[in-house]
């Protein structure tokens, strides 16, 4: 049995009398206590898919199950055993940290005490502020509180919609560590994120773009499957370099990446020399070209470009 399963889910919205396809024939299987990442740019359909799976939204067609329960028929049972953390902070800002936790515990007919062990390591970090109103917490603390509230009824499946958007790098790292810890408690976690670097932490990831999934695999496998040769190029004028590379028809794709440009060439023999000549003709100085090993982000950029 899969913890989460989606079979042919489609959803479209009507916007100004125009049909906008948000999801197109999504098929997905997520295993028990897997940390599964849903990676895609803004507007790719991540939130719609999560909302359909946690019974907040009805799909136009297709079926699915969470914990073996049908997402349409058994929505009440599903709601009792899933935790959901929406992308936007959605706890009561005028209630204190403790009151929020208390309220959501009681909503699920449980108490903080009963499941304290599960949230302990997370909640302890914000416990010193438990009499503070949730609205007055910092971004990172808000997120910890939201996670605590989503976990207070010991859900078997946890949906996290872009939990790390707008959070600083340190808190992001901490947050992913917490998710890793939760896995040990046999909780299946579906987390969506626009940040590709976070994919490497997940057990498996799905790439979503324009409402379609086009790659579901282990992050390491995705990197291993990457066949094209990847080059890093650096010159004195980085901005002009990108422009020039993009306008060169021998370049398949080119992305700025830190202090260099990651480039994949179309079938070109002796790429390094050819590229050097081209760039010299464009009057670039201090040209450095070197082959590099692809990271997960390079794979995504490449795959996304290919599918688009």
Contact set with another protein (CB under 8 A): 54-58, 75-76, 79-80, 82, 84, 86, 88-95, 99, 103-104, 106-109, 133, 149
In our burial notation (b when 16+ CB lie closer than 10 A, e otherwise), range 227-240 reads eeebbbbbbeeeee
Query: Residue 88 or 236: which CB sits closer to another protein?
Result: 88
- Give whichever of 96 and 125 is closer to another protein, judged by the CB atom: 96
Nearest-approach distance from CB 133 to another protein, in angstroms? 8
Q: How far is the CB of 276 from another protein (least distance, A)?
A: 53
Looking at the Cβ atoms of 10 and 250, the one nearer to another protein is 10
Cβ 88 to another protein, closest distance in Å?
5
Dihedral class, residue 24 (left if φ above 0, else alpha if ψ from -120 to 50, else beta): beta
Measured in whole angstroms, how far is the alpha carbon of residue 169 from the centre of its chain?
15
Nearer to another protein, 13 or 290 (CB): 13
Q: How far apart are CA 1 and CA 158, in angstroms?
A: 17
Shortest CB 51 distance to another protein, Å: 8
Query: Residue 127: which H helix or E strand, with range?
Result: none
Residues ≥6 apart with Cβ < 8 Å to 238: 256, 259, 261
- Provide the 3-class DSSP secondary structure of residue 91: coil
Nearer to another protein, 90 or 138 (CB): 90
Least separation in angstroms between residue 134's CB and another protein is: 10
Phi/psi for 98 (5° steps) reads -65, -45
If you write DSSP's letter for every residue of 25-54 in order, what string do you get?
Answer: EEEEEE-TT-EEEEE--TTSSHHHHHHHHT
Q: Which helix (H) or strand (E) holds 24?
A: strand 18-30
Half-sphere exposure of 204 (CA within 13 A, CB side): 13
Residue nearer to another protein on the CB measure, 53 or 201: 53
Question: In angstroms, what is the minimal distance from the CB of 132 to another protein?
Answer: 12
């Amino acid at each position: 049995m899969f913890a989460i399963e989606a079979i042919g889910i489609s959803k479209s919205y009507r916007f100004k009398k125009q049909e906008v396809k948000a999801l197109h024939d999504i098929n997905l299987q997520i295993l028990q206590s897997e940390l599964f990442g849903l990676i895609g740019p803004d507007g790719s359909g991540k939130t719609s898919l999560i909302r359909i799976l946690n019974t907040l939204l009805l799909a136009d067609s297709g079926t699915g199950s969470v914990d073996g329960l049908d997402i349409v028929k058994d929505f009440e049972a599903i709601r009792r055993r899933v935790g959901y953390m929406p992308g936007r902070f959605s706890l009561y800002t005028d209630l204190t940290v403790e009151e929020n936790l208390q309220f959501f515990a009681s909503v699920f007919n449980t108490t903080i005490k009963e499941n304290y062990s599960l949230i302990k390591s997370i909640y302890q970090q914000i416990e010193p502020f438990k009499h503070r109103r949730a609205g007055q917490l910092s971004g990172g603390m808000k997120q910890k509180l939201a996670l605590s509230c989503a976990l207070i009824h010991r859900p078997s499946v946890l949906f996290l919609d872009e939990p790390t958007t707008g959070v600083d790098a340190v808190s992001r790292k901490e947050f992913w560590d917490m998710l890793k810890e939760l896995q040990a408690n046999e909780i299946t976690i579906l987390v969506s994120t626009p940040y590709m670097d976070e994919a490497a932490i997940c057990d498996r990831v799905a790439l979503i773009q324009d409402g379609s999934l086009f790659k579901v695999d282990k992050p390491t496998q995705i990197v291993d499957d990457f066949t094209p040769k990847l080059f890093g190029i650096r010159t004195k004028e980085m901005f002009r370099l990108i422009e020039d590379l993009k306008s060169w028809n021998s370049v398949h794709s080119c992305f700025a990446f830190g202090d260099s440009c990651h480039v994949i060439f179309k079938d070109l023999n002796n790429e390094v020399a050819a590229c050097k000549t081209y760039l010299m003709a464009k009057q670039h100085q201090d040209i450095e070209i070197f082959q590099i090993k692809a990271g997960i982000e390079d794979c995504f950029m490449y795959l996304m470009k290919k599918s688009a």
